[in-house]
Amino acid sequence: MRISISSSLATTLLLADAIVGASCLPKSTTRRWNGSTYSCKCFPGDDCWPSTAQWNALNSTVGGNLQVNIPPGAPCYKTFQGPFGNISTYDAQKCATVTSKFGDEQFQVDLPAAGLWTYFTNDTCRPTTNPSDSCTLGNYPVLVLTARTAAHIQAGVNFARQNNLRLIIRNTGHDFLGRSVGWGSLVINTHNFKTISTTDKWTGPGGYKGSAITAGAGVQAFEALARLNSLTPRKIMVTGECGTVGIAGGLVQGGGHGPLTNFYGFLADTALEFKVITADGALKTANSAVNPDLFWALRGGGPAAFAVIVEASYKTFNDFPSAGLTLDINPSTNTNEQLFWKAVEKFHSYSTRFVENNIYVYYELGPVPMTLHVQPIVGVNMTLAQLKAVVQPLFDDLNAIGIRYASTEKAFTTFYDLYKAMFEIEVAGNSALTGGWSIARTDVQNNHPAIIDAFKTILKAGGFLVGHMWNAGQTLPQSEWAKSAMNPRFRSVVDKLITIVPVSGNAPLAEKAEAQNRLTNVVDASLRAASPNGAAYINEADPFQPNWQNAFWGTNYPRLLSLRQKYDPNGLFYAVSTPGTEKWEQIEYGTRLCKKLN
């Protein structure tokens, strides 16, 4: 059997090679690891791996859109040593392109099976200047089904279920926790679902009659916002602060926070309807009237946990004139560490004031050299004078302690214009472990010195902080809070933090274990201790933290677990530390996905 490869690096590859050596391997999916017995998914080389004829049939069903996956950096190597055999891959021109664009998020998004951050790929086959280096698949998926219709997704879901394969749903690859990649897996790519429609009056169930947008699974934030900005009157919607993220997929299933969260809550809070494919391969509608329990779970109950989203509909809102500020404390002009931390304490103490005035703040706190970079401070539906009036007491405090800082300011005709101008472009291609915790309002008020001490602990441990000041219950009516599956504790959060611990994906196992221990038991532990009333955000947190069920979903977890058992009883879908995955592990050094039997 032959399956075509989308890249010109090679034209065909015999999948029959996958069964070479199968007679030397176990005849079932049961394996022993560290003294325990596991039932595992089927992987290349296993006796249960689908036959050549079966793969051929799937490829025919999906219109030839099944591809063998090759890592992005392969053009820089003479040979790609894949699981189905070796192929020649070197192409100087393509190598130059991938080398120059490897850190470009949109370049990575548009690839069929890339992960934007490389730690969980095993950091394999990165662009190199030495073509004789080794290029292997690492933890990238084995095959990619580039879905172009709902029927293609259904075919892939059914095939994975019937053949006990590890299945990954990949839209943009915009994920810190490795959910878009996985050793030995089949990935369904939904990024080609780019349809967008809008309406002035939603006619579906639920009582809402305002304007709305319906977007295919592959629509990204910048595309949705551009379409809404073209309307008369101009509209906006809740999205992440990063424009490359997809709006109908992992973002909403994890919640979806952004610059408008103070006003409208999470993206999940604004969801009106989903079209999805469940683990049984059925195409279903989920809204407040049809499959309402599934609708609730999809609104923040965990990415890749309940169904594959084909399209999603959301509330939209009128755009407003807005204003923005920046603040930088530059280490080149501030060498006094004690003064720097006093400035950080002053800045962060205003988190409650900012959110109470519906101001959104995005900031970065880095260790070497110590830097506080705040861009932007956003006032939606505010004049620049109004925004400055809220922020001025902070500047007064900074002036009083004698810290040097730089600040810029600008007014915009619309929030959309501010969004494009002031939110900085993020970078892909880096390798790190990601954690995080959210700081509760009451802990800022009662325990702020401990929070700043936690910040110091994180930087001393080699970590890095990214903060997002918002409150998801600020102006959203309390009657709306329980309509999504978000952890109720998020309604009192004033600062959602991402923690980052750099580590190479191909580092020795002991080094990886040390970095993970540092993230869980030093970096994030300091935040959990300082803000016991906080919570963790599933899309941007340490999935291996203790009691993750409560950290991510609080009192909503038992219901989510029950719904997972209803809609995916056999565990077809998998994303680390999502409802129902307690017994699932990636054994054998983070490779095979298996369920623990004893």
Q: Which two tokens stand for residue 366?
A: 């880095």
Task: State whether residue 345 is helix, strand or coil.
Answer: helix
Banded pLDDT at 455 (limits 50, 70, 90):
very high
Tell me which residue range forms the domain holding 166. 15-189
Is residue 243 exposed (0-12), middle (13-18) or buried (19+ Cβ within 10 Å)?
Answer: buried
Average pLDDT over residues 576-598: 96
Is residue 6 exposed (0-12), middle (13-18) or buried (19+ Cβ within 10 Å)?
Answer: middle
Residues 247 and 102 reside in one and the same domain: no
Out of 155, 189, 223, a domain closes at 189
Residues 212 and 116 reside in one and the same domain: no
Average pLDDT over residues 336-356: 96
Residues 201 and 169 reside in one and the same domain: no
pTM of the shown model:
0.94
Residues 169 and 287 reside in one and the same domain: no
Q: What is the pLDDT of residue 6?
A: 37
In a domain, 88, yes or no: yes
- Identify the CATH number of the domain in which residue 57 sits: 3.30.43.10
CA distance to 80, 145, 337, 497, per residue, from 467 (Å): 40, 36, 20, 5
In a domain, 591, yes or no: no
Q: What is the pLDDT of residue 28?
A: 54
Banded pLDDT at 16 (limits 50, 70, 90):
very low
Q: What is the pLDDT of residue 157?
A: 98
Residues 286 and 331 reside in one and the same domain: no
Residues 485 and 520 reside in one and the same domain: yes
Evaluate whether 372 touches 329 at the Cβ level (below 8 Å). Answer: yes
Evaluate whether 95 touches 135 at the Cβ level (below 8 Å). Answer: no
Residues 542 and 516 reside in one and the same domain: yes
- Identify the CATH number of the domain in which residue 499 sits: 3.40.462.20
Residues 263 and 377 reside in one and the same domain: no
pLDDT tens for 21-54 read 333 333 458 999 999 999 999 999 999 999 999 9
Cα atoms found within 13 Å of the Cα of residue 517, Cβ hemisphere only: 6
